[in-house]
Amino acid sequence: MILEALQYAATAPVTPSAFCPYIRSSVSLWSRANRCARAWAEHEDNCQSFIRDRVEGMKQRRTCVVLGSGLLRDVPAGYLSQQFDTVVLVDLVHLASVRLSLGVRGMRNMRFIWRDLSGYDDAVAGKATEPLGFLRQVPYLDLVISANILSQIGIAAKHRLEAEGNARQDEILQALVRAHLDGLAALPCKTALLTDVSYKVADRDGKVTEEADLLCGVKAPAAQRRWTWTVAPYGELGPNHQAVHEVIAI
């Protein structure tokens, strides 16, 4: 708890006030990632490998944008810093430990943007949802990486809609997922989409006790790579259950 409190205290002063409510969940994710480091390692390696392969062969490497940069565990930050003139990290929160690590490693070409990438407010209001429209204003954009954020958009929106008692839940969730996929597809540059698409909770005998479609019924484009990610190994949810997600790379 002491480390989490220090992380929160160091992050809050450098976070715009509108995004401070999200710090707590980001710190919780950081703590969970540390606890589950061994179980997450293969997934993180797969993500980083896919990104490196996507960069190989690119003739122009001016600006790269990472959507949902988060803890930067699934993104090869050092590699991207070396390969591109500028790397823009976009998320709700940029933890102090992440910023410090990049500074210590001399990655001076990293830029931070605090932004809600969901499009939630417009979708709830019944307006056209274009959460990635801001990318059209990024000069010399050559690569956009969506780093395991798409499913999180749906999960967070579902919680909000349930709390608000919104009867249009399915419609809104699907609109948000489609807006992200359509936004990536419309970009004139190269893209890399990493996302978990479903999960199952099973006991030690393999009996599935819970499962869900993390893309809310929206069909994902054909995957180039696919693997499983043990998000919650035995002991995280309880001694006899684990949660395994299916991940695709496009």
pTM of the model: 0.95
Phi, psi torsion values for 177, nearest 5 degrees: -65, -45
**Amino acid 229: pLDDT:** 97
| Residues in the chain where the model's pLDDT stays below 70 | none
Q: How far apart are CA 52 and CA 80, in angstroms?
A: 8
Predicted confidence at residue 1, as pLDDT, reads 81
Q: Torsions phi, psi of 173, nearest 5?
A: -60, -45
Q: What is the pLDDT of residue 23?
A: 97
Q: Where are the alpha helices (DSSP H) in 64-148?
A: 77-83, 96-104, 120-124
pLDDT for 208 equals: 95
pLDDT digits (tens, 9 = 90+) for 47-101: 999 999 999 989 999 999 999 999 999 999 999 999 999 999 999 999 999 999 9
Measured CA to CA, the distance from residue 193 to residue 153 in angstroms comes to 14
Provide the strand spans (E) within the chain: 63-67, 86-91, 110-114, 141-147, 190-203, 208-213, 225-232, 241-249
Phi/psi of residue 146, nearest 5 degrees: -100, 105
| Beta carbons within 10 angstroms of residue 232's beta carbon | 19
Q: Please report the domains of the chain, with CATH numbers, ordered by start residue.
A: 2-249 (3.40.50)
